[in-house]
Structure 1
Amino acid sequence: MDKKTLSIILPGLLIAATGVGAGDLATAGFAGSHLGVAVLWAVVLGGLFKFALTEGIARWQLVNGDSLIDGLATRFGKPFIYIFLTYLVLWSFFVGSALISASGVSLHALLPILEPANGKIVFGIVCSLLGLLLVRGGNFALFEKVMGFSIAIMVVIVLSTAVVLWPGNSEVLSGLFIPSIPDVNGKGLTWTVALIGGVGGTLTIFSYGYWIREKHRTSRDDIRTCRIDLMVGYAVTILFGLAMVIIGNTVTVEGKGSGLIINLASSLEAALGPAGKWLFLVGAFFAIFSSLLGVWQAVPYMFADLMKHLTPSSSDKSDDSKTSAKLTETSSYKLFQLALALVPIMSLWVSFKEVQKLYSIVGTFFMPFLALALLYFNNRKGMGSDKNSLLFNGMLLVTLVFFSYVAWQKFFG
């Protein structure tokens, strides 16, 4: 692949790497273990949902010049800003905690030189600080290179593992094109819904808007490039999810979170031998660490973007701060990035169940709100010929209905 092609598709690959964390690995592996390859279609559907949302965010930005967060803040004012800030801070803490813990567990599995409990803590702190050093000490080009290397490692290893464990063409094709849900009256529906919702991340899809600014995509002429880029990125995300379901299909997996990934690797030893187990652990580590790195680099953009609307007299409100490069120079970006890498470390020792409940409540409504916002903003006259097509409106409507159903089930189901 030449440098020009890689430069075009890299922001989409960054979305793929950042969106695939420990939770997504575990969910896909668990779904495959308990439901088999019959739910492969759910991975494709989840990827299409996230593609529609991310494309809508990028299109709004390229047509209007502002980020979607700018548009929402201008349209709905301070109530939106405070609600989104609350969700962003809580999301950052709990996702950061999960990524630090998962990175620690997966690295300790590769280097079991300490007791498991201590290994998770020590290696988790090391991964968090290393991630901070890479995104704080380097530039965007270094971030791209590290993420590109991580993506290559995780994709090659996980896809190769799935190919070795291939269940058969007929089973895979049936799972892809004949939708069904095993144990639909039991936990089958719950895990299928979780699989659809977990593909490709949630809040991290906002990162794409800031990354394309780093690539100097700023006009309507760049919409086609972004669509190609996102198709590649979400194709990789879908392939990764399909591979994890296929891998999970071959073994019985128990546990949760990063512990489930370690159990999965141990189960694979019987099918692939010690080499297969260790290679899978390497792929899992790079998948988790690349997600951590992406979150550490991109999520502070959102915080800085919101804060400039609350601090109109500060330098963060300058016109230059509309560009990603300038946002990284604001005190809001730098302080939040530091807090993101350091504050969640305390979760390695302390439980925050009550705060997590608030995060869960706020977060449940994020995806349907985003789908609704894109249906509103991207159908306005100002979008001109770049308004939502019938296809994208349909995709967003289905996304809205699906995630509204998830929210309803969570509270009333």
Structure 2
Amino acid sequence: MKPLSTLAQLGPGIVIAATGLGAGDMVTAAAAGTQFGSALLWAVALGALIKFGLNEGLARWQLCTGTSLLSGWNRHLPRWVAGYFFLYLLVWAFLVAAALMAACGLAAHTVFPALSINAWAAIQTLAAAGLIALGRYPLLETAMKVLIGLMFVTVLTAVAATDFEQIEILPALLPTHFPEDSLTMVLAVLGGVGGSLTLLCYGHWMNEKGWRSPDNLTQARVDLIAAYSLTALFAMGIMLLAAAAAPTDASGLGILLAMADSLGANLGSVFRGLFLAGFWAAVFSSMLGVWQGVPYLFADTLRQFRQRGEARGEVDTRGRAYRGFLLYMAVPPLLLLQFGKPVWLVLVYSVAGAFFMPFLALTLLYLNNRYLSGGGRNSIASNVLLLAGLLLFVVVALAEWW
């Protein structure tokens, strides 16, 4: 394999990074920076490393077996596991779609207030769905590279122009300082960096890129290293900007708008506009990634049910299952913006979602060690990362469930 030498050769990793870097990551990093300054930079780096371990294990399973991880679950785990995942996917997709719509609507409304948040949400969700329905994976990859470039230019420009003289940066990269009452925030940062269920989409994006054999494993690893390096740097930039800006509004998406106002007051209106443009790019790229990637999971789950875990190759993005689920995410969740989230749906989502990440880590420990051989088996380093992820996400799951 020729070494990766240009950004053009990086593909699925850029998509997974742009998808995972959404409003939730920005809010968590900003809240951590506001409350604890730069003290939790190490948690960002560690969280990105653990997510790399999970995604590398998933990629290794698919490249070595020729089947998706969903196929592995269907073939080697009890049948109820696939049923649980299917129900969880339906609820997760519905609520995450509504959250992405609200974030995109707010980002656009802040810049162009002539239209309401809900109107902007509807415009963007339909535009994203149309782009996915009419385009192919190469179009998505190109769009994601443009959006993630915009995200980094805006954040790094603001970082370069900000005075961090009173903020310690290098010492904060090592976990030697654990601020008092920061445990909840540490867990939020560790668990929130780099997405959750969308990690499963990486296997389908590898298929689209033509990476289908163990020969592509090094390529996938370099791709993922680049992806999670970008993820960590972006989240660190947001945390540092929040530490310097010290926004007074620390609730939800409001903290990002307060950061933009603070940057505008300190550096000028141009920087306020740049930050808001980066905020919009982050949330809209997440919408594009979820709209394109999650229907793969629905369609793949259905075909694994039919073929008892033996289905291989690409999912048909022109098929009824894929397009039907795209429509399911793009339209019905708009109702939640009008009427709010039903309480029972939020409870089901919270409980089921809290246990997904430890389940993913556990299955990768089991499947990769038992059913892969030679270079495909988990190395000592991989097992350590997966065990660390398992322990971390169990703690996060119990905290969320409680």
State the SS of the aligned residue for 1:282.
helix
**Larger deviation: 173-182 or 384-393?**
173-182
1:299-347 superposed Cα distances (whole Å, 9 cap, x missing partner): 00001111113345xxxx998x6333x4313211110011111111111
Aligned to 1:75: 76
* Structure 1 runs of 4+ with >3 Å offset: none
Equivalences for residues 177-326 of structure 1 within 5 A: 177-184=174-181, 188-253=182-247, 254-312=249-307, 322-324=312-314, 326=315
| Partner in structure 2 of residue 394 of structure 1 | 384
Tell me if the contact between 2:70 and 2:304 (Cα under 8 Å) persists in the aligned partners: no
* Partners of 1:37 and 1:51 in 2: CA distance: 23
Q: Encode CA deviations 1:97-140: one digit per residue, 9 max, x unaligned.
A: 110000000001111114xxxx1100000110010011111111
From 163, 168, 190, the equivalent of 1:171 is 168
Cα distance per residue 1:280-316 (max 9 Å; x no partner): 000110011000000000000001111113345xxxx
- Kindly provide the CA deviation profile for residues 181-213 of structure 1, in whole angstroms up to 9, marking residues without a partner as x: 3233xxx21112101111001011111111111
Amino acid of the structure 2 residue aligned with 1:29: A
Distance 1:318 1:202 in 2: 23
Partner residue of 1:365?
Answer: 355
Aligned residues of 2:66 and 2:213 also touching (Cα < 8 A): yes
Q: What is aligned with 1:153?
A: 150
Deviation of 1:179 after TM superposition, in Å, equals: 3.3
2:370 alignment counterpart:
380
Aligned partner of 2:34 in structure 1 is 33
Letter paired with 2:392: F
Aligned-partner SS, 1:304:
helix
Structure 2 letter corresponding to 1:392: S
Identity rate of aligned residues, in percent? 38
> TM-score w.r.t. structure 2 length?
0.95
Q: What residue number does 1:345 align with?
A: 334
* Partner SS, residue 328 of structure 1: coil
Contact 1:165 1:246 in 2 (8 A): no
CA contact (8 A) 1:50 1:200 kept: yes
**Other structure's SS at 2:39 match:** helix
Report the count of equivalent residues. 398
Structure with the larger helix share: 1
SS in 1 for 2:40: helix
Contact 2:350 2:400 (8 Å CA) reproduced? no
**C-alpha RMSD of the superposition:** 1.9
How far apart are 1:266 and its partner, in Å? 1.5
1:178 deviates by 4.2
Structure 2 alignment gaps of length 5 or more: none
Residue 127 (1) aligns with residue 121 (2): no
Aligned CA distance change for structure 1 residues 369 and 183 (closer, same or farther; 3 Å): same
Worse-matched range after superposition: 301-310 or 220-229: 301-310
Could you tell me which amino acid in structure 1 is paired with residue 356 of structure 2? F
Structure 2: distance between partners of 1:121 and 1:270: 28
Amino acid at match of 1:207: C
Paired position in structure 2 for 1:332: 321
Q: Mean alpha-carbon deviation: is it higher for 250-259 or for 270-279? A: 250-259
Unaligned 5+ segments in structure 1 are: none
TM-score by length of 1: 0.92
What's the counterpart of residue 10 of structure 2?
A: 9
CA contact (8 A) 1:41 1:179 kept: no
Q: Is the 8 A contact 1:39 1:179 kept in 2?
A: no
- Conserved 8 A contact 2:61-2:372: no
